[in-house]
């Protein structure tokens, strides 16, 4: 192949590169997002037992908090983290006279750690959980906010907000079936814990 032919081939390749990148962008979509904070130099391997508090629910599905909490517990267990039984947590909250999760104090979290022998507590909220409807398509939308608190110090050691939703490229343009709400919520929870475990 001559130098002229090689140059021509390279030019055609470079011209098609922006189109290829644009195609990848549309296929992957831009509906997912994650923001997180991780306390520097914290040893997450020291967290062996976690208490997952009831999650606040800001959605129209009254069971969304419980559904996501169950997925959080299963995900932690699957990664070798012990989780305090939810009934024990409810009894402990009553003993500490905690009326609502959003008003829980640092002292309460530290005392929970002592009473339940847990190194950390997870609290958080479900901000979106349902099927959203576009002009021609429906798609699952899940948004979760979780915070991991060290029971010894009462410090936030990790905080994450993650959302997944919106119609995919294939659903928008070809009407293909996307993920179910259950699959989407499991995916969001898994991706959340992938950031630290």
Q: Given pLDDT bands bounded at 50, 70 and 90, which one contains residue 7?
A: low
Contact 181, 164 (CB under 8 A): no
Domain ranges of the chain: 1-28, 31-194
Q: Give residue 139's pLDDT.
A: 85
Model confidence pLDDT, tens digit, residues 97-141: 999 998 899 999 999 999 999 999 999 999 999 998 877 778 899
Contact 163, 128 (CB under 8 A): yes
Q: Give residue 138's pLDDT.
A: 82
Q: Which of 41-50, 116-125, 164-173 has the lowest mean pLDDT?
A: 164-173
CATH topology of domain 31-194: Rossmann fold (3.40.50)
Task: Collect all residues with Cβ–Cβ distance below 8 Å to 40 and sequence separation of at least 6.
Answer: none
CA 132 to chain centre: 19
- Work out the average pLDDT over 158-183: 71
Contact 133, 71 (CB under 8 A): no
Angle 141-145-151 from CA coordinates, rounded to 5°: 155
The secondary structure of the chain in percent helix, strand, coil, rounded to multiples of 5, reads 45, 25, 30
């Amino acid at each position: 192949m001559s130098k002229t032919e090689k140059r021509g081939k390279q030019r055609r390749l470079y011209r098609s590169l922006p189109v290829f990148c644009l195609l990848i962008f549309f296929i992957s979509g831009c509906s997912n997002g994650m923001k997180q904070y991780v306390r520097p130099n914290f040893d997450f391997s020291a967290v062996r037992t976690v208490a997952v508090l009831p999650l606040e629910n800001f959605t129209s599905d009254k069971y969304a908090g419980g559904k996501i909490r169950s997925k959080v517990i299963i995900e932690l267990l699957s990664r070798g983290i012990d989780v305090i039984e939810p009934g024990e947590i409810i009894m402990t909250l009553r003993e500490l006279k905690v009326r609502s999760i959003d008003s829980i104090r640092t002292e309460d979290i530290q005392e929970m750690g002592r009473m339940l022998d847990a190194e950390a507590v997870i609290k958080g909220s479900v901000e979106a959980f349902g099927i959203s409807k576009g002009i021609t398509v429906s798609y699952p939308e899940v948004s979760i906010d979780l915070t991991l608190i060290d029971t010894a110090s009462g410090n936030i050691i990790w905080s994450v907000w993650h959302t997944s939703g919106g119609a995919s490229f294939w659903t928008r343009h070809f009407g293909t079936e996307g993920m179910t709400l259950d699959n989407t919520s499991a995916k969001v929870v898994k991706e959340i814990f992938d950031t630290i475990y």
